[in-house]
Amino acid sequence: IDVYGAPVIGKHEQWHGIVIVAHDITELKRLEGIRRDFVANVSHELRTPVTSIKGFSETLLDGAYVDQSALLSFLEIIHKESNRLEMLIQDLLELSRIEREGFQVDAQPTEMDALIETAAERIQGRLEEKNISLKLELQPVLVQGDANRLIQVMINLLINAITYSGAGTAITVRLFEKDGEAVTEVEDQGIGIAASELPRLFERFYRVDRARSRNQGGTGLGLSIVKHLIEAHHGKVEVRSEVGKGTTFTIYLPLAR
Ligand code: ADP
């Protein structure tokens, strides 16, 4: 608490009392803390690929370029790390846009089943790379939503399902109406998430396994983006998981008006 006190003295110097003003700054302090953590996280996340790009390019310039195999493998690392940087910057920009106060999605009557199919087509390559099968069990459902944003949400959830699942497993997406809402489930047979990790899962940069996420090209921002976009649609996201068995993300969205 921020406390400020001052005596109240009348026109003729008579003593009236003391005024005390107390501001509860707990919330301000908390927000300030979150902002500081965020800046520290961003700096750290940006520095990691930059350090790597700088180191490998310097080694090449110092003469390693004459070795063909070093040249190729270092260039591959530099290329991969530049892609990471690009993705990180894209996700950060997207997050800052959708977190801004007053952000609104352009919600129109939209065929949720069709946009799930579009998202599925866009991740086809990744499914094949990992030999993961995708089952779509979709009923025709019309939601009030912004198709491009919802495709982004579905791609983020599907890429996570692929990233955190083993080869040869299956992912199932179900879409149906329940209690006047559109319900979308993305279920995988992957590594699962411990119950103790679930409460922090949607925080920016939160990852259960930092090294694994990085290695797979994750930015740690995907689920924050999902949560913000779904909330901007007046919907909600839930997650259920069992370690070693798999994870299900469920999205609830309003039906078209
Ligand atoms: P990332 O880019 O690291 O995947 P996200 O915000 O998308 O970031 O996810 C945060 C963390 O949640 C991940 O690092 C991972 O530990 C965990 N996670 C997300 N989706 C799944 C899933 N389907 N199965 C297991 N763990 C997951």
pLDDT band at 254 (very low <50, low <70, confident <90, very high): very high
pLDDT tens, 8-61? 888 788 888 888 888 888 888 888 887 888 888 889 889 999 999 999 999 999
Over 80: is that where the pLDDT of 2 sits?
Answer: no
Q: What is the pLDDT of residue 75?
A: 96
pLDDT band at 237 (very low <50, low <70, confident <90, very high): very high
Q: What is the pLDDT of residue 38?
A: 84
**Average pLDDT over every residue of 170-199:** 97
Give the number of C-alpha atoms closer than 13 A to the C-alpha of residue 5, restricted to the C-beta side: 4
Q: Which residues contact 165 (CB under 8 A, 6 or more apart)?
A: 130, 132, 171, 188, 189, 190, 191, 246
User: Does 191 sit in the ligand 1 pocket, CB within 6 Å?
Assistant: yes
Over 80: is that where the pLDDT of 63 sits?
Answer: yes
Q: What is the pLDDT of residue 66?
A: 94
Q: Which residue has the higher pLDDT, 9 or 86?
A: 86
**Rounded to 5°, angle at Cα 203 from 124 and 82:** 55
Nearest to 235 by CA among 187, 184, 201: 184
- For the entire predicted model, the pTM comes to 0.85
- Structure token digits, residue 128: 């094949």
User: Does 189 sit in the ligand 1 pocket, CB within 6 Å?
Assistant: no
User: Does 158 sit in the ligand 1 pocket, CB within 6 Å?
Assistant: no
User: Does 190 sit in the ligand 1 pocket, CB within 6 Å?
Assistant: yes
User: Does 152 sit in the ligand 1 pocket, CB within 6 Å?
Assistant: no
Out of 163, 185, 200, 249, give the residue to mutate to test ligand 1, the one with the largest number of ligand atoms within 8 Å of its CB: 163
pLDDT tens, 121-139? 999 999 999 999 999 999 9
Complex-level ipTM beyond the 0.90 threshold: yes
Nearest ligand 1 atom to the CA of 186 is: 23
